[in-house]
């Protein structure tokens, strides 16, 4: 049954892409990829997202799972794909039989129609915050997945990798030349990078200058960007003008110490959030991306590893269901808004010809209505509890200090909280009650530069636009015959 449903998803995606207009498919390849996350309360239609990727010439996509719905939309698209196996599946992959089944279901079932390049085994599994939860399961899972790929006959072109956070390596004196793998995982990392090297797979690392700035008030602000003009000297007369290069070369030196000096490095995630923190805004995000893309366009690499770099931007869309434990900014990494609109001008070729990227087409919205605080309510004693509930179950990350909706008056703050919950609940009338403290209005509640959004119609609850009657009939017939 699972394979049949996957087949249907592939067929539907192929039909949708075949129906796309040539104009929507315009745009040449670029040297950057994007991370396409899935933690949204209202996902956009995958086929429309793929149209947007092609319109902007984005030729690489990194996924965090292997959900056949979005993956099916990438079939026959020509876009290079990295599929993901989530951390909570790593223990399962310690059984070779399970790894073999996964490869059969998610790799070979697509044949050559999916341009699959990598399988990401876990995501930052060695983070210190995980307290060693995946320390014993990651490497065995990596070996089993690569073995399954090899035995399936695709291991020469599809490589198993492990995207890792930059906290897996350290520099005792903050100089890249002193880079080494973290002492507590040095032996494990050494074995793992040698395995990657022996199987022709790259090291995938996530580098976030924003987090360097966020985690330390003493971090030099200008060093987080590529145009800051700050210089930090290292051994051999090498100088660093930005933390991205310094971080990257710290890894390169760690790889040298581990005995694999020439192991290919891919930056699996690099980006800048646009809300949820005083340094997370459109101006600084644009500054970071402009500098990064210009750097990549020159193929200059880093002082220790010059040349072309492969980088995936993080991320594609804002994700309102992400955990905010690391910070409120976690829900605002997208270069596109929740509804598929570009946030600021960006030239993905790095040539400085900034213009707005093409948005996601065919986006449909819920009715233009908002849930706001009813200041005429008689009993306001239950306000604190209802606000707390709205924010816990909705998304109030834009209300914090230094954020886009900071500085609203009390009434607007309450309305924002109520509306976000209301929208995330598909505008269910019961989601705008709050013990009689709220009301629905058709007057746009946005105020003082703060957007009160109207949520999109979730793609999971509507038919794919443009699907012809013949295709629809074929799918219906297939379902009747095989389900």
Q: Which of 80, 124, 319, 330 is catalytic?
A: 124
Tokens 């070369």 locate to 249
Q: Is 124 a catalytic residue?
A: yes
Tokens at 62, concatenated: 């990194």
Of the candidates 394, 393, 413, the one whose C-alpha atom is nearest the C-alpha of residue 403 is 413
Peptide bond into 377 cis (omega under 30): no
What element of type H or E holds 85? strand 80-85
How far, in Å, are 161, 254, 381, 434 from residue 377 at the CA level?
57, 63, 10, 11
- Separation of alpha carbons 91 and 87, rounded Å: 8
Residues 6+ apart with CB under 8 A from 393: 421, 424
DSSP-derived pairing of the beta strands 203-206 and 80-85: unpaired
Q: Which of 31, 80, 269, 300 is catalytic?
A: 269
3 state SS of 36 = strand
- Separation of alpha carbons 196 and 201, rounded Å: 5
Residues 6+ apart with CB under 8 A from 384: none
- Report the 10 Å Cβ neighbour count for 27: 17
- Report the 10 Å Cβ neighbour count for 2: 9
3 state SS of 74 = coil
- Separation of alpha carbons 433 and 357, rounded Å: 39
- Separation of alpha carbons 400 and 406, rounded Å: 6
How far, in Å, are 43, 146, 230, 330, 406 from residue 276 at the CA level?
21, 39, 27, 8, 10
254 close to 181: Cβ distance less than 8 angstroms: yes
- Report the 10 Å Cβ neighbour count for 394: 21
90 close to 130: Cβ distance less than 8 angstroms: no
Q: Is 300 a catalytic residue?
A: no
3-state helix, strand, coil split of the chain in percent (to 5) is 40, 15, 45
370 close to 422: Cβ distance less than 8 angstroms: yes
As annotated, the active-site residues are 124, 269
């Amino acid at each position: 049954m699972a394979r049949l449903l996957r087949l249907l998803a592939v067929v539907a995606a192929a039909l949708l892409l075949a129906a796309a207009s040539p104009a929507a498919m315009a745009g040449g390849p670029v040297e950057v990829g994007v991370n396409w996350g899935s933690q949204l309360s209202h996902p956009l239609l995958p086929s429309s997202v793929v149209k947007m990727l092609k319109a902007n010439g984005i030729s690489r996509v990194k996924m965090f799972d292997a959900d056949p719905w979005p993956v099916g939309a990438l079939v026959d698209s020509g876009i290079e794909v990295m599929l993901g196996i989530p951390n909570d599946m790593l223990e399962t992959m310690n059984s070779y039989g399970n790894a073999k089944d996964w490869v059969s279901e998610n790799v070979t079932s697509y044949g050559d129609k999916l341009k699959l390049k990598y399988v990401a085994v876990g995501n930052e599994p060695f983070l210190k915050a995980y307290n060693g939860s995946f320390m014993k399961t990651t490497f065995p899972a990596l070996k089993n997945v690569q073995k399954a790929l090899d035995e399936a006959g695709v291991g020469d072109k599809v490589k198993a990798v492990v995207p890792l956070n930059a906290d897996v390596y350290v520099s005792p004196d903050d100089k890249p030349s002193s880079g080494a793998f973290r002492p507590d995982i040095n032996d494990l990392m050494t074995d793992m990078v040698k395995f990657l090297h022996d199987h022709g797979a790259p090291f995938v690392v996530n580098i976030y200058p924003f987090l360097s700035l966020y985690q330390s008030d003493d971090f030099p602000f200008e060093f987080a960007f590529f145009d800051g003009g700050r210089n930090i000297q290292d051994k051999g007369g090498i100088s660093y003008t930005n933390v991205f290069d310094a971080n990257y070369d710290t890894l390169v030196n760690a790889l040298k110490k581990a005995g694999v000096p020439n192991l290919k490095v891919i930056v699996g995630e690099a980006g800048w959030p646009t809300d949820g923190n005083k340094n997370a805004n459109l101006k600084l995000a644009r500054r970071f991306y402009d500098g990064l893309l210009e750097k990549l366009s020159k193929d200059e690499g880093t002082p220790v590893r010059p040349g072309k770099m492969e980088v995936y931007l993080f991320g594609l869309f804002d994700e309102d269901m992400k955990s905010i434990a690391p910070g409120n900014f976690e829900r605002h990494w997208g270069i596109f808004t929740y509804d598929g609109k570009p946030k600021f001008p960006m030239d993905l070729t790095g040539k400085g010809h900034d213009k707005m990227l093409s948005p996601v087409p065919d986006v449909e919205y819920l009715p233009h209505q908002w849930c706001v605080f009813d200041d005429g309510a008689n009993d306001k004693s239950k306000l604190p509890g209802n606000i707390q509930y709205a924010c816990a179950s909705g998304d109030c990350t834009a209300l914090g200090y230094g954020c886009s909706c900071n500085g609203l008056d009390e009434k607007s703050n309450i309305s924002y909280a109520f509306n976000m919950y209301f929208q995330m609940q598909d505008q269910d009338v019961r989601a705008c009650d709050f013990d009689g403290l709220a009301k629905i209005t058709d007057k746009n509640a946005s105020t003082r530069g703060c957007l009160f959004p109207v949520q999109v119609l979730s793609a999971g609850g509507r038919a794919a636009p443009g699907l012809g009657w013949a295709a629809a009939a074929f799918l219906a017939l297939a379902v009747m015959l095989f389900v």
